[in-house]
Structure 1
Amino acid sequence: MKNIFLASLGIFISCLSITAQEDPYLWLEEIESPRSLEFVTEQNNITLDKLSKVKEYQNIYDKSLEISNSTDKIAYPKVYGTYVYNFWKDKDHIRGIWRRSAKDAYIDGNPTWDTLLDLDEMSAEGNIKWVYKGAQGLYPNYNRFLISLSNGGADATVTREFDVETKSFVENGFYIPESKGGATYLDGNTLIVTSDFGENTMTTSGYPRQVKLLKRGTSLKDAELVYEGSTTDVGSFSGILRDGPISYQIVNRYKTMFSNETIVLINNKPIVLEIPDDAVNSGILKNQLITELKSDWTVEGKKYKQGSVISLNFTDLLVGKKNIQLILEPDEFSSVSSISVTKSKLLINLLNNVKGELYIYSFDDEKWKNTKVNAPEFGTISIIDTDELSDQYFFEFENFLTPSTLFLANADDGTFQSLKSLKAYFDGTKYKVDQIKVKSKDGTLVPYFLVTSKDMKYDGTNPTLLYAYGGFEISSNPFYSGTFGSVWLENGGVFILANIRGGGEYGPKWHQAGLKEKRQNVFDDFHAVAEDLIAKKVTSPKHLGIMGGSNGGLLVGTAFTQKPELYNAVVCQVPLLDMQRYNKLLAGASWMGEFGNPDVPEEWEYLKKYSPYHNLKEGVSYPEVFFYTSTRDDRVHPGHARKMVAKMIEMGNPIYYYENIEGGHAGSSTNEQSAKANALMFSYLLLKLAD
């Protein structure tokens, strides 16, 4: 597919490394310039025209929208006091409603939902496409909330104070203009705020570096400065750590994404906690600060190993004393997925060979003791919410073939009961799941999940979709998707979820094996899985497609530029692709701890070896890639995808491109937009792989 608009420019693109000054597509980084949007509109129209004609397109759209709009889906709870709050979207509430029900009625299975805020009405009144981004309540009565709202799905939000009794925004109440950052109640008349306070108050990553106290009735410009980080930090973020009725004001100063200085404000004076800067704090329980270690830590001759969960006596720590207890030390096959706190218990969600296990820890007689919850096995466990007033909590279980089920549990005795399950959108009994390990280039065993029909033939003809992420210590866990099942598996597809390095499946070491100069390990792992699928005759290059978003978009972008012969379809979503300029675009500078700094010659040396934008070569036959991004993505700049597309077209490589005008980094803001994205992407995959 040739693009007449670009071809007329007659620009020759070298396959050599491009400097920013030589980049002929720099103009595509101008997000909303008429020229850029003309390019976007033209490509959108071409892609929509082609893919909407695929025979499966309308059925995929209808099925995806039916699933998203289903009134039988789970209304996930957020507990504040005696109420459960929920945000809900369906065909009658396109942008959604924020609502609540009495907690007892919700648990009994008969919630009495009371709509508090209707975003469709609000959007129509103000002619702004509002997207709900969360709410924080005023402890302990929760009669007022700080509502975060985004214009079109961007990360930057407007924060407004809302009264749940009157179901209205508070007249002359707290208001924080659009910015990245956040606000938390200290009391009914005071907020602790991070925001764009004006000139020189944001970091080079685009996040706040100042923390202020905002009193009711005063303007943001008059807020009291209580902490200030550096311009070169990722950002400073504030909040509250609560230990029962006791609360502490916390500032987290992220010098990099993985090095965090934790500061406690006592009478507005900062106390820096003497803990490793890569440790992650998860709350306070019975004066014990719960901390997960990302590297070994030796204190008074005793070594606490990387990946361990420890607790520190918090009041001792505030005066420089380290009274430490070991809670959990994972083995080489396990890692901590999440840590949560109820009124009196600690919940640790563990991954064991990428399968969930749940443990309850009690701190009695100055010692930690645990019991394992007899939760469902061979899938993913997610803590949905805890109740600070009791030891009740909610968790979810799912796997590739089992619809998600929400459970109500009691951490006091380990019991739980099913509250709600998704309906089965496809017949899971026809399929099976295998977990396989393959050797990567350096000999490391890398696991992947293989989801196939029980009667699949190993003849190399199966349309196969390989998905992975591989970054930021984020694990890729088994999940249930009615859309994947009904439009991919039911159409003869095979699905692969690869647990490559860079993620958190086996703890911090798994992540750190893919950092910076070690990034090629991530790509080698991905290639190894693809080659194993081909060797086992699950599929062949003609029938193998890959998918990834954000960092996963970088992954698949690198995969098809390094080994184009392996893949016949590539879905590259909201991707990073220009690794020479990524740190200058939106939030890109915050990721230098993950990828490296391209402005440092030694680090550009390894970045340029895989940067997809710089490794496209003339005369190479690449897959016909589908790029998907969003104009309103203020995290990963849409210029990455735009420039890659422009360069590929000029080099004579046909592509598909679709840019949703709103949606932010999630790509879509409404169920209709999500259904359209699914219809485009799965139609493309069936078109390329199922013939």
Structure 2
Amino acid sequence: MPTYPETPSENVVDVLHGEKIADPYRWLEDGDSTETRIWTEQQNAVTEAYLAAAPGRNRIGRRLQELLAIGVLSVPTPKRGRYVYLRRDGRQNQPVLYWRDGVDGEDRIAVDPNAINEVGTTALDWYYPSDDGRLLAYGLSENGNEESVLHLLDLDTGRQLPDRIPRMRAASVAWRPDSTGFYYTRYPARGQVPRGEEPYHRAIYLHRLGTDPAADPLVFQPSEKEHWPGVGLSPDGRWLIISVARTFDQVDLYLQNLESGGELVAVARDLPASFEGEIAHGRLFMRTNLDAPTYRLYAVDPERPDRSNWREIVPPRADAVLESVAVAGNRLALGYLEQASSRLRLTDLDGRLDQDVPLPTLGSLFGFGAEWDGQELFYGFSSYSLPPSVFRIDLAAGRSSLWRQVETTIDPTGFEVGQVSYPSRDGTPITMFLVRRTGLVLDGDNPTYLTAYGGFNISMTPAFSRSLLLWLERGGVVAVPNIRGGGEYGESWHQAGILANKQNSFDDFVAAAEWLIRERYTRPERLAAAGGSNGGLLMGAALTQRPELFRAVLIQVPLLDMLRYHRFLIARLWIPEYGSADDAEQFRWLRAYSPYHHVRKGVAYPAVLLATAESDTRVDPMHARKMAARLQAATSGEHPVLLRLEARAGHGAGKPLSKVQQELTDSWTFVFSELGVEV
């Protein structure tokens, strides 16, 4: 075990709802203090020295460099014969945004973040081409902070327009049909709201090209600072569409007739469900899980949006989740999840079945590209063994063909992908994907990498991972359970793993580990667990509740102090998912599992690597710092507890390839070394 820096333990005690809660490492919450910075630098030095001495580190780094050179590809956005899409080739730090005239035209560079910043820490966060395909709105941010600044580019001339709009994190943008301006979402500047509330108060504005953004008129401000609005427009510019996410599972929908100057009208408000919609062909196509945990699709007349006039055109299915919908000419593209794997179905505009589109294997759709009056549909697909591929359907001919695929020498037949079902603690059946090298013999001693997420209605589906190939090539097994809290089986599956039900997520994950051991895939000494963000919370819970099941635990950008998490950054947005310790009942749920508060003195914990980043604007690095300190002081075992804090990086979005490689080299060196796997 390495020698750790001295870590002062202070007598800090809170009384929450009558219970005394010790917090000896409260001082590590202040990431800007000199003491915390020095301590973190010392922890980083310990981690670097430990991992540098691990066998095979250089070979891991070299192979990851080769694997990460496998490119990145997005689905193109078609706009009047012009196509805009992202692609990363070879060892470029950031994907480049390209455009072309004609589906088979020559690629031209629109935005190259690598040319803007050779270090690679400038990221392209989002982009929105105008309806005529001439102008491009896009957001750039620095060092992983996701604090986007809007830029405008004239694709015809290559000229940058002078308009700049800051504070457009995760922006929603809707161009006016004549390309003279756009509706957009923006956050307040410092001084405009009480200090600390800058990550909230998201609102919708209208910008006209060439005017001062500071004078942009406010279009919509939600009633609560935590509410999250998005904006859209009908193709003719008549109807403004506003969605308001009150929580991750309650989204209201509004319409406004801009032509008549009418008031904002609620299509769906104060209902215990989520709604999203697109207007085309004079109809609002509205996807919702209202009284339908697996989602349904309504057609709504914008002139008569009352619920009594909604017409169901795609009913909910018991065996599949309607995950996505796109209007493509006179077709609807319906993306389903069946047993946590994607399916694609095309119907007419009234939802009548037209055709099922064959997909290559168990895998994941990753986007649609279409125009409401077009004759083509693009869709992306990948799987554990198939790199990102984009297909194009000629809607008139009904034919699907490969448009573009990431080039690689990886042979997809070299890997086996299967799916099993196992019972959780309460008997609920949980599905799990298992990936291994073709022909690998299962002998009970196979090194196994178990990862999951289980939150925010996010689904863990079979998708291509460059770094997992490193593990699979060397005889490792990858296991991905679809635990409760995710979206694999609809909203009821999500609800079964949040708030008072959060322990279900942890039980499902632990049951996966037990199944892998019982079915002789592996044993605890050869089992690693890994997860990030909400998945980092999952790792913290598994570590503190069942430490004997794992040999190594990789905890990335995690939530771990669940009694104080809501006080930092944007975390108040997550109260509907977890609850808040300010509420007595919710405090009891959180106190029952909060990983930081369940570290026990004298327990032999497995090897732990806590990875975080100084520019993370979602999950505060304080979680990883405090957990590292507490585990180092508590463990009675011989395995290391390591902290890795990355400079000039954030939660993960926009991270340059060079930093991704460094992070993955450290992570996989840790896993390979602790499980005793030869490289």
TM-score in terms of structure 1 length = 0.89
Q: Is the 8 A contact 2:326 2:332 kept in 1?
A: yes
Give the letter for the 1:69 counterpart: A
207, 222, 230: which one aligns with 2:215:
222
Moved more, 603-612 or 258-267: 258-267
The secondary structure found in structure 2 opposite 1:64 is: helix
What amino acid sits opposite 1:113 in the alignment? D
Counterpart pick for 1:688 among 670, 674, 677: 674
In 2, distance between residues paired with 1:82 and 1:467?
A: 42
Q: 1:256 is matched by which residue type in structure 2? A: T
Structure 1 pair 429/114, CA: closer, same or farther in 2 (3 Å)?
closer
Given the alignment, which residue of 502, 513, 524 partners 2:507? 524
Kindly indicate whether residue 35 of structure 2 is the aligned counterpart of residue 35 of structure 1. yes
Q: Which residue of 1 is the match for residue 311 of structure 2? A: 324
Question: What's 1:208 paired with?
Answer: 201
Shift of 1:534: 0.7
Asked whether the 8 Å contact 1:77–1:86 carries over to 2, the reply is yes
Instruction: Kindly state the Cα deviation for residue 633 of structure 1 after the two structures are TM-superposed.
Output: 1.2
Closer/same/farther in 2, CA of residues 374 and 477 from structure 1, 3 Å limit: same
CA contact (8 A) 1:571 1:627 kept: yes
Aligned position for 1:235: 227
2:70 and 2:406 in contact (8 A); partners too: no
Aligned to 1:290: 285
Indicate the larger mover: 520-529 or 458-467: 458-467
- CA distance change for structure 1 residues 397 and 308 in 2, over 3 Å: closer, same or farther? same
Alignment of 1:427-576 (within 5 A): 427-485=411-469, 487-576=470-559
- Decide whether the 8 Å contact of 1:248 with 1:264 is kept in 2: yes
Counterpart of 1:285 in structure 2: which amino acid?
A
How far 1:338 moved relative to its partner? 1.9
Query: How far 1:87 moved relative to its partner?
Result: 3.2
1:601 to 555, 560, 584: 584
Asked whether the 8 Å contact 2:68–2:466 carries over to 1, the reply is: no
- 2:603–2:635 CA contact under 8 A, matched in 1: no
1:123 corresponds to which of 106, 117, 127: 117
Partner of 1:109: none
Query: 1:623 matched to which residue of 2?
Result: 606
Alignment of 1:132-147 (within 5 A): 132-139=124-131, 141-147=132-138
Contact 2:94 2:654 in 1 (8 A): no
Say if 1:206 and 1:175 are closer, same or farther in 2 by CA, change over 3 A.
closer
Task: Look up the equivalent residue of 1:420 and give its one-letter code.
Answer: R
Does 1:46 find its partner at 2:46?
Answer: yes
Contact 1:543 1:689 in 2 (8 A): yes
Partner of 1:578: 561
8 A contact 1:180–1:196 mirrored in 2: no
Q: Deviations over 1:190-215 (max 9, x none)?
A: 33233233423899582334333334
Give the 3-state SS of the residue equivalent to 2:156 in structure 1: coil
1:153 corresponds to: 144
Q: Does the CA contact (< 8 Å) of 1:65 and 1:671 recur in 2?
A: no
Q: For 2:195 and 2:297, how far apart are their aligned partners in 1?
A: 33
* 3-state SS in 1 of match to 2:593: coil
One-letter amino acid of the structure 1 residue matched with residue 288 of structure 2:
L
Closer, same or farther: CA 564–398 of 1 in aligned 2, 3 Å: same
2:86 equivalent in structure 1: 87
Deviation at 1:609, TM superposition (A): 0.7
Give the Cα separation in 2 of the matches to 1:348 and 1:567. Answer: 40
Task: Give me the whole-angstrom Cα distance separating, in 2, the residues matched to 1:689 and 1:272.
Answer: 56
What are the Cα deviations for residues 356-399 of structure 1, in whole angstroms up to 9, with x where unaligned? 211011125xx644421133343323334224451312223332
User: Distance between the aligned counterparts of 1:155 and 1:51, measured in 2?
Assistant: 29
User: Residue 175 of structure 2 aligns with which residue?
Assistant: 185
Match for residue 265 of structure 2? 271
Shift of 1:260: 2.0
Partner residue of 1:613 out of 596, 607, 610 = 596
Task: String of CA shifts for 1:165-193, please: whole Å, max 9, x gaps.
Answer: 3323213x253356565543335343323
Q: 2 CA distance for matches of 1:227 and 1:289?
A: 20
Moved over 6 A (4+): 12-21
Between the aligned residues of both structures, percent identity stands at 26
In structure 2, the residue corresponding to 1:442 is in which secondary structure?
coil
Take 1:180 and 1:420, find their aligned partners in 2: how far apart are those partners? 27
Partners of 2:431 and 2:576 in 1: CA distance:
26
SS in 2 for 1:577: coil
Q: Show the counterpart of 2:96.
A: 97
Residue segments in structure 2 that go unaligned for 5+ positions in a row:
none
Number of the residue aligned with 1:646? 629
Contact 1:13 1:651 in 2 (8 A): no
Change over 3 Å in CA distance of 1:246–1:194 after alignment to 2: closer
Letter in 2 for 1:194: T
Structure 1 equivalent of residue 348 of structure 2: 362
For residues 499 and 398 of structure 2, the distance between their equivalents in structure 1, rounded to whole angstroms, comes to 42
1:46-84 CA deviation, whole Å, 9 max, x = no partner?
22222233333223222222233346x646533333222
**Distance in 1 between residues matched to 2:16 and 2:582, nearest whole Å:** 14
Distance 1:203 1:306 in 2: 36
Distance across 1 between alignment mates of 2:370 and 2:149? 27
Q: 1:482 to 1:229 in 2, by over 3 A?
A: closer
Q: Alignment partner for residue 358 of structure 2, among 374, 382, 388? A: 374
Contiguous gaps of at least 5 residues in structure 1: 107-111, 297-304
- The 10-residue stretch of structure 1 (617-626 or 254-263) with the greater mean CA deviation from structure 2: 254-263
Single out whichever of 35-44 and 195-204 deviates more from structure 2.
Answer: 195-204
Q: Equivalent residue of 1:208, what SS?
A: coil
Tell me the distance in 1 between the aligned counterparts of 2:114 and 2:73.
21
Q: CA deviation at 1:272?
A: 1.3
Q: Give the CA RMSD over aligned residues.
A: 2.9
Matching residue's letter, 1:207 = Y
CA contact (8 A) 1:192 1:239 kept: yes
Q: 2:446 aligns to what SS in structure 1?
A: coil
Q: Is the alpha carbon distance of 1:116 and 1:202 closer, same or farther for their aligned partners in structure 2, counting shifts above 3 Å?
A: farther
Q: CA deviation at 1:457?
A: 3.9
SS in 1 for 2:103: helix
CA shift at 1:553, angstroms?
0.8
Q: 1:652 to 1:437 in 2, by over 3 A?
A: closer
Deviations 1:126-173 (A, max 9, x none): x9942111211222x2222221011212232111222223323213x2
Aligned residue number for residue 248 of structure 2: 257
Q: Deviations over 1:428-483 (max 9, x none)?
A: 43432221111111111111112234444443211101111111111111122233
Distance 1:176 1:663 in 2: 19
SS in 1 for 2:457: coil
Residue 309 and residue 144 in structure 1: after superposition, are their counterparts in 2 closer, same or farther (change >3 A)?
same
Question: What residue is the counterpart of 1:349 in the other structure?
Answer: 335
Structure 2 equivalent of residue 300 of structure 1? none
Whether the 8 Å contact between 2:70 and 2:408 is mirrored in structure 1 is no
2: CA distance between counterparts of 1:467 and 1:642?
Answer: 22
The TM-score normalised by the length of structure 2 is 0.90
For residues 490 and 383 of structure 1, the distance between their equivalents in structure 2, rounded to whole angstroms, comes to 29
Supply the distance in 2 between the matched residues of 1:310 and 1:208 (Cα, whole angstroms). 30
